[in-house]
Amino acid sequence: MKKPKMLIILTSLVAMLLFIIILGVSVGTLKIPVSDTYSIIIEKIFKLEPVNETYYGVIWKVRMPRVLMGLIIGAGLSLCGIVMQAVVQNPLAEPYLLGISAGGYLGATIFIILGNSVISIFNGAGLAFTAFIGALFAAISVLFLASFKSNITTTKLILSGTIINALFTAIGNFVIVLSGTDNTISRVTYWMIGSLSSAKWESLPLPTIAVFTATIFFLTQYRILNTMLQGDETAITLGIRLNFYRKLYISLVALLTGILVSVCGIIGFVGLIIPHIARALVGPDHRRLIPVAVLIGGIFLIAVDILARTIIENTELPIGIFTSIVGAPFFAFIMIKKNYHFTS
């Protein structure tokens, strides 16, 4: 791809991102004119006295953290999807392939069922903490199983992820059957589908730093990721230590996915479809693919969140429902209309 075309794509995506952010903080139960939203953002940036205190409070205390969280989660899941698809050389790979979602589900289930009366030392961060620990433990289990007595291979990774996913999901369901109530079951179900409703300013720094750092790191690894897509034989011939890089990349993806799952629940389909949409635009070269996919992922999740909280008046639907409803047909359209290849 020529540089001018890539520059046009990036510029267009940044413009779309800015527009969708302003739209995201403008719409909701209280509709705020876009012009007023723009003015309030400018007032905040330049530390001016806000003209409309009501609009200012809604935008900065409620909607802006949520929109920015959507940006970070969408970007992070898209990045994880790209790396997983390269590591296991499978176009159907996604961030939850390693059983991470099942680990997060088990951790969240244990916390919700046991309740704050038992796990009170974490205060409001208890659910996020236990979900993260569960997700991380699942990923460690997959790595141990896939590397036991031999080097990691793509087949062993996929099979190990399937085993851990089934095991952790079964344990979580067992806990619910033993001790669940109507209230706790509904809370677990809502967490499973994913939501940005709990986003706050104080919950933004950790996922933001994690996604930004991971994006910069994997941008420096684009040559290795490109080679991985060509298959194990090609990578070994070129002198790449596949076992080392698989463990490294999977560990980082597991850590990042665990952080994302802990703050918003399980939001499916983003890490699967966004990398393919990005490839349809810029091809399989990860030097171009990563920044484009990160931007598209952020735009996509903000847009879907807008739909989830506005399509039915005074009702907020879990965002995970819409990522599948919107994502599946769009993915089908890309597969049918765009003639692109997973590898170059």
pLDDT digit string (tens) for 141-181? 998 999 888 888 888 888 999 999 999 999 999 999 888 78
The size of the chain, in residues, is: 344
Any domain includes 344: no
The model's pLDDT over 120-129, given as tens digits with 9 standing for 90+, comes to 445 556 788 8
Give the chain's mean pLDDT.
87
By the 10 Å C-beta count (0-12 exposed, 13-18 middle, 19+ buried), 324 is classed as: middle
The residues with which 315 forms a beta bridge, in sequence order, are 312
How far, in whole angstroms, is CA 148 from its chain's centroid? 29
Which among 81, 99, 101, 102 is positioned nearest to 273, based on CA atoms? Answer: 81
Q: Are 107 and 135 in contact (CB under 8 A)?
A: yes
Any domain includes 343: no
Any domain includes 190: yes
pLDDT, residue 262, reads 87
Domain of 128, CATH number, reads: 1.10.3470.10
Q: Are 64 and 48 in contact (CB under 8 A)?
A: no
pLDDT, residue 116, reads 53
User: In terms of pTM, does the model score above 0.75?
Assistant: yes
b/e code 91-100 from CB counts within 10 Å (16+ = b):
eebbbbbbbb
The percentage of the chain sitting over the pLDDT mark of 70, rounded to a whole number, equals 92
Instruction: Identify the weakest region by mean pLDDT among 2-16, 19-33, 250-264, 323-337.
Output: 323-337
Q: How many domains does the chain have?
A: 1
Any domain includes 20: yes
Range of the domain at 238: 3-337
Any domain includes 61: yes
**Whole-Å CA distances, 138 to 132, 237, 254:** 10, 32, 9
Any domain includes 342: no
